[in-house]
Amino acid sequence: MPLKRRDCAFGIHFDFHAMPEDTVPEIWKPQYYAKMLDAVKPDFVQCDTKGHEGLSSYPTAVGTQANIKIDILAMMREETAKRDIALYGHHSGIYDRKAVADHPDWAVVDADGSVSCDYISVFSPFADELLLPQLRELAGIYKLDGAWIDGECWATQVDYSKHAVNAYKKEFGKEPPGPEDDDFETYREFCRSGFKKYVKYYIDTIKKEFPGFEITSNWIFSAMMPESMDFEVDFLSGDYDPVNSVESARFQGRVLEARNITWDLMAWGQNAIPFSWLTENRHTKELIQYQQESSVIVAMGGAFEFFNIHYASGGAIQEWAIPVWAKTAEFCRERSACFGAKIREEFGILLPLDRNDKNNAFLYTDAPGKKRCEMWVSAMQDCQYSTKVVFEDDLIKGKTENYHIIAVPGAETLSADAVAGLENFVKNGGVVIVDTPAIRHFYSDAPAAEKRQIFVDADGALASAESFYCNFLPAGATPGGEVRFDNIYDVAALPAFFTRKQGKGIWCFLDIDLGDFYTINRSNTLRVFIKKMISNLGYTPAVSVSGSRFADLTVTEKAEQLIVNVINMAGEHNVPTCRSYNEIPMLGKLTITLDPSLGIKEVTPVTCVEYSVSTADGIVNAITLKSLHIHAAFICR
């Protein structure tokens, strides 16, 4: 029997978004597909069933088939079934150009009356009349194991179609507000709620008919949707940025991991410039890029899949790429002991429930809370702290008792209940760091931060950036750190942050906008400042790594065991002009320090590495790696 998604650690994804002008030739070569499956041995495959253009790549009876003469999907199902490999459909949801063209009344309508050519209203009959009938084809006729619905939350817009307006009037008994009205945000929330109801409806409906059919909506409940998970999906998944992919995966994975359900992330197998599904300017990634990206995901306990576009269209397999895919799969399988682990609750970073600007028609893109959280994850991981994402809902429900420290990025909004949750956390002995833009949620009299050239002092070295400074030191607070407005040292310094105690814990409020500053100036000087500040707050991580700043640390727990992951973050993954690279500099000797309170008595490497341990009174207090190429993990008992 094929594995259920919860047991799948590695997959491969194929799609090609058939276009109207394409004439897809009969180039299917099942022998290459069989060769790929035998060599790669994926736990699951995701194949194209319908792209954003709205043309199905199989003979559909209810939609519109692309100009494909053969039934590729049937061949894929036959070959995967022979090998007990799960098969999922890549199926575009509300991003469907053909459905909009055929049913203009299904389209999203902007506030100014403009009718979309791309996006479908979630309030329309689309789910009943097209999406669900096609899912029934996939589940019932082709016996697929599930579907990955693309073009969903990130394609959701403010909608004034007749379907949306009528739904609002039925619920509230009045016309919906417009962008110029004070209560416009309530309508935006109504549209967001409509999207969630739409997803829940089609999932519940198809699973009632086909209980074993596993399904998700791409990027649902991700960093784009930081609200509570108020209905079930079988798994979470998303395709992260093909540019600076390693850091994108490091952040996006932390959000999905914090949801406590099965999850995976999908790498683009090509660096695409610009980042768009329509981009033809693509460059295939090298093996070492797959390995570095997968390491970040595997270290967080997630499953890794990668997307390979059918360059030749029509579902043809590139035979020349099979060895690279096989080696990528082998790399992931060697680390299967990490799969399903959860990041240790110790250093939390809040993902604020911010909403994007009301002038943005798209409802789940470009929210400042996501950007701010990502800035902080990058900064803290670069400082070699193992971090875990915390949601506002976690604060409200008091799910923070295991954390030692929580950072609050520059949240534009923060609910009163979330603030109360942070206050309780501090009273009980926790440490909270609040970035400058979020100070106003705790001090109503805090002045607005001003943008100017500032210099942050870190043990005699200065980090400079044109960023924001809030000149604020409330009564009773203790100043800390130093900020200057020049680099001459002839003017008295101003505080970089201030602290105050409450109950058993401590607050730290930043006068500099740390998230913005680190985005501009990713310097060692600023990292020294961050680590010194956090140390002075009394926080010492239970696990730390030293020897190279490129050694990224992720500490997880599984079956009452600690798993310590170190990942080599060196290389050119964050160089915008670098399309591919085949070399990552080896890191020299690294030391992983373990707090004796962890009580570690035995260390087992997940893969073959040269290492040694040091002990005191039978307790392991350090692991020393001779070198690190890409990823090493140790199970600590």
Taking 60 as the threshold, does the pLDDT of residue 25 lie above it? no
Give the HSE-up count for residue 515: Cα atoms under 13 Å, Cβ half-sphere: 24
582 shares its domain with 492: no
**Model confidence pLDDT, tens digit, residues 391-449:** 999 999 999 999 999 999 999 999 999 999 999 999 999 999 999 999 999 999 999 99
128 shares its domain with 236: yes
Q: DSSP per residue over 171-224, as a string? A: HHSSPPP-TTSTTHHHHHHHHHHHHHHHHHHHHHHHHHH-TT-EEEETTTTSTT
Which of the listed residues 338, 367, 390 is the one where a domain comes to its end?
338
CATH number where 620 lies = 2.60.40.1180
Taking 60 as the threshold, does the pLDDT of residue 593 lie above it? yes
What is the mean predicted confidence (pLDDT) over 465-491? 93
331 shares its domain with 451: no
Which of 31-35, 272-276, 454-458, 500-504 bottoms out in mean pLDDT, i.e. has the lowest?
272-276
219 shares its domain with 334: yes
**Model confidence pLDDT, tens digit, residues 52-86:** 999 998 999 999 998 877 888 999 999 999 999 99
Q: What are phi and psi of 21, to 5 degrees?
A: -80, -10
How many domains is the chain built from?
3
Tell me which of 72 and 523 has the higher pLDDT: 523
pLDDT of residue 571: 95
**Model confidence pLDDT, tens digit, residues 619-635:** 999 999 999 999 999 99
Neighbouring CB atoms inside 10 A of 538's CB total 12
| Model confidence band, residue 502 (pLDDT cutoffs 50, 70, 90) | very high
Which of the listed residues 486, 503, 536 is the one where a domain comes to its end?
536
Amino acid (1-letter code) at residue 396 = I
Average pLDDT, the chain: 94
Beta-carbon contacts of residue 617 (< 8 Å; ≥ 6 apart): none
Which of the listed residues 536, 564, 585 is the one where a domain comes to its end?
536
Beta-carbon contacts of residue 110 (< 8 Å; ≥ 6 apart): 116, 157, 158, 160, 361
> In the structure encoding, which two tokens stand for residue 161, read together?
């179609």
18 shares its domain with 165: yes
d(CA 347, CA 403): 6
pLDDT of residue 314: 57
493 shares its domain with 571: no
CATH number where 521 lies = 3.40.50.880
Taking 80 as the threshold, does the pLDDT of residue 272 lie above it? no
145 shares its domain with 30: yes
Find, among 474, 499, 470, the residue nearest to 483 by Cα.
470
Taking 70 as the threshold, does the pLDDT of residue 578 lie above it? yes
224 shares its domain with 201: yes
Domain span at residue 609?
A: 543-636
Taking 70 as the threshold, does the pLDDT of residue 26 lie above it? no
220 shares its domain with 140: yes
298 shares its domain with 431: no
**Model confidence pLDDT, tens digit, residues 306-356:** 988 665 555 677 888 899 999 999 999 999 999 999 999 999 999 999 999
Taking 70 as the threshold, does the pLDDT of residue 23 lie above it? no
**Model confidence pLDDT, tens digit, residues 98-155:** 999 999 999 999 999 999 999 999 999 999 999 999 999 999 999 999 999 999 999 9
d(CA 124, CA 336): 43
**Model confidence pLDDT, tens digit, residues 175-193:** 999 999 999 999 999 999 9
454 shares its domain with 577: no
CATH number where 314 lies = 3.20.20.80
288 shares its domain with 425: no
